[in-house]
Structure 1
Amino acid sequence: MKLSELKVGQIAKILSLSSKGVIKRRLMDMGVLSGEILRIEKVAPLGDPIDIVIKNYHLSLRKNEAEQIEVEVIE
Structure 2
Amino acid sequence: MRADQLKKGEIARIIHIDVEPFLKKRLFFMGVHEGGRIRYIMSSPFYDPLLFMAAGNWLLLRKDIAKQIEVEVGQ
**TM more than 0.5:** yes
- Percent identical residues: 39
Q: How many residues align?
A: 75
Output the CA distance in 2 between the equivalents of 1:17 and 1:7: 19
Provide TM-score, normalisation by structure 1. 0.88
RMSD: 1.5
Give the corresponding residue for 1:30. 30
- 1:11-65 deviations in whole A, cap 9, x for unaligned? 1000010112322222122121011111111111221111111111211111011
Structure 1, gaps ≥5 residues long: none
Check whether the contact 2:39–2:54 (CA below 8 A) recurs between aligned residues: yes
Provide TM-score, normalisation by structure 2. 0.88
Structure 1 runs of 4+ off > 6 angstroms? none
**1:21 matches 2:21:** yes
